[in-house]
Structure 1
């Protein structure tokens, strides 16, 4: 039973002290389960992260469920999932109880505006370490920058960006396939 509470506390701590959602939690999860606890190898974590991103649901929860299942089976996934969800649930509940009293307070507004850049940094930081682990070539860094600028400055819907990326990916794959077959 001690192992279940250990995995619960690891994910509770991650859920409680991470602002910015699932992508901001990734470096903390990786640090805990790969570096500190040794529950997963780095390559296995990267594979699990790819799966967690591709299935429906919050990435932090999907990651917690995978780690819990891998470590302790079904019960482990229940404990890790509860651990990562419970802090957010408690915080949202408390905010809902008191937010109406403070929503127009200029200090509260400034605090939330001040947190935004930190959240962006928490999301961007793991992208570099994950990109390095995945073997991403940094000469292609212009692609996400152009996409971000297109969404932000030109108000292009991310849906069109995704559809364009799918089309270009398929076209590139067909081109490479034809090139190999020659």
Structure 2
């Protein structure tokens, strides 16, 4: 690797970093993991700037730093190949396509005839596919994250606290980090006792609020953009009323099928909605800034960071909470697609206790969404169907089935 890099002038390294990450973000749809695989193909197999399998081996470190997986991966590759300037150039390149494309999409979003029954059905189909996508992600994460009764209890408690009681997801993430940190410190203490001896909602004020909010989101994001959805719902829908839940879910659907990291797409979309091009820019920068700073710190002591019991403890604590947040988001998606209103938990609880009576509330099953849900879930879990293909097919099926 060193010899291959030594043959490339520094300025050319920066140009190649920018161009390749710009192309990856422009043409790769599906989020951080797809971008990592594309970067592995270019920087390992084609350019031979990194060792074979190095990016995948560093996945634990990349996920352990707050921020989006795609952004952290770009920072890692840039830092390893061209130092601090390389990290900055790679991060800008991976975010730039999202900013440009989402701003263009946002300009035309207002002309979409949302009252049209076929358009409504298409968005219901997409939300249904998002429900299936999140469930598939949970199923795949479950054996890696839920490893015992304590992690299972943490995931279930997170679902109950966020979905049923509206607890701020940041509190749950903070609690997960704190518990994991304590466990990691205890492990560190046992391993090395001797070594331990010696954070006007208008005009510039609103833009500043947006920037600080997205810095906060970036600090609490571990892994992909899906983990941010409960935070967006809590802060942007419930607390500030800047968006409705339907608008947020529609934005999430569009972010899934546009090039670039999903988290960056969504941040750019939300920023444009509140502050135009400049709002989109500061939201994107705010989301990526914490991971840029923390990745720089971590990469200076990579070996110690990767093997640190404290880092492993944090990841063990945050994993079940993340799964719980994803599950809570899935329930919200289901209530916007497969069902016609919020699940009647009180009625279901009465049935469970033997109080049999007819249901008279607004809850109904949207029968047209059922085949969309089953087909998209099967395609994403069992086959090699891409996320973009599943989303587009679900939109087409939804337009046909969900409003007839």
Name the TM-score, length of structure 1 as normaliser.
0.72
CA contact (8 A) 2:380 2:386 kept: no
Match of 2:286 in 1: 83
Distance in structure 2 (CA, Å) of the matches to 1:33 and 1:22: 15
Which has a greater percent of helix? 1
Deviates most, 140-149 or 18-27: 140-149
Q: SS state of the match for residue 159, structure 1?
A: coil
What are the Cα deviations for residues 111-153 of structure 1, in whole angstroms up to 9, with x where unaligned?
Answer: 4345433332232321221221233559957778867875xxx
CA contact (8 A) 1:7 1:80 kept: yes
Determine if the alignment matches structure 1 residue 24 to structure 2 residue 223: no
Q: SS state of the match for residue 241, structure 2?
A: coil
Q: Which structure 1 segments of 5+ residues have no match? A: 151-157
Deviates most, 79-88 or 130-139: 130-139
Distance in structure 2 (CA, Å) of the matches to 1:38 and 1:162: 30
Q: Please provide the CA RMSD for this pair.
A: 3.5
Match of 1:58 in 2: 261
Match of 2:243 in 1: 40
Distance in structure 2 (CA, Å) of the matches to 1:99 and 1:138: 50
Determine if the alignment matches structure 1 residue 159 to structure 2 residue 369: no
Distance in structure 1 (CA, Å) of the matches to 2:327 and 2:321: 10
Q: SS state of the match for residue 38, structure 1?
A: coil
Name the TM-score, length of structure 2 as normaliser.
0.35
Determine if the alignment matches structure 1 residue 128 to structure 2 residue 299: no
Distance in structure 2 (CA, Å) of the matches to 1:13 and 1:20: 15
Match of 2:84 in 1: none
Distance 1:149 1:70, change over 3 A: closer
Deviates most, 29-38 or 72-81: 29-38
Distance in structure 2 (CA, Å) of the matches to 1:57 and 1:45: 18
- Counting matched residue pairs gives 167
Q: SS state of the match for residue 63, structure 1?
A: helix
CA contact (8 A) 2:226 2:326 kept: yes
Match of 1:155 in 2: none
User: Higher Cα Rg: structure 1 or 2?
Assistant: 2
Bigger RCO of structures 1 and 2 (CA < 8 A, at least 6 apart):
2
CA contact (8 A) 2:257 2:388 kept: no
Distance 1:169 1:33, change over 3 A: closer
User: By how many angstroms is 1:160 displaced?
Assistant: 4.8
Match of 2:192 in 1: none
User: By how many angstroms is 1:91 displaced?
Assistant: 2.2
CA contact (8 A) 1:12 1:84 kept: yes
Distance in structure 1 (CA, Å) of the matches to 2:241 and 2:307: 46
Equivalent in 109, 112, 120 of residue 315 of structure 2:
112
Match of 2:272 in 1: 69
Q: Which structure 2 segments of 5+ residues have no match? A: 1-203, 340-364
